[in-house]
Amino acid sequence: MRTLCASTLIGEFFVIGFAGLVAMKGDISGTTVWTVCGIAMLLSVLLCGMLGRPGAIQIGWALQIALVLSGFVVPTMFFLGAVFAGLWWASIHYGRKIDEAKARWAAQEEQASAGPDAA
């Protein structure tokens, strides 16, 4: 799950940066745009390292909501935020299934290597 979620977060890092460039054309000051974008970009990178800790998934969801809401500044972000929210959900959902399958395979390998006498 961590790999899929981290991949989504790194993609978001770049999208946030490009959205910041687009937002510069609006009425908002460059300092405000890059403060908000910088915090969001830093959060997306830091979350990559925190994915194994409690609460990281929930913080990731908060980032997804913030991306969708950034559509009020850059309208394209309504669409891109929804796409990344879907990718975030898929990363969590399918990542957990992959982790469960790996655990089952590891248990089967361990049982097979122990031999028939271990049972």
Convert the pLDDT of each residue in 64-77 to its tens digit: 999 999 999 999 99
**7 pLDDT exceeds 90?**
yes
Helix (H, G, I), strand (E, B), or coil: what is residue 55?
A: coil
Phi first, then psi: give them for residue 73, nearest 5 degrees.
-95, -45
Spatial contact of 34 and 21, defined as CB atoms under 8 Å apart: no
Cβ pair 9, 45 in contact under 8 A: yes
114: amino acid identity, one letter:
A
Indicate the pTM of the whole model. Answer: 0.84
pLDDT tens profile 81-109? 999 999 999 999 999 999 999 999 999 98
How far apart (Å, rounded) are the C-alpha atoms in residues 111 and 60? 37
DSSP state of 74: S
Give the Cα separation of 52 and 46 in Å (integer).
Answer: 12
- Is pLDDT of 1 > 70? yes
With pLDDT > 90 as the criterion, what percentage of the chain qualifies? 82
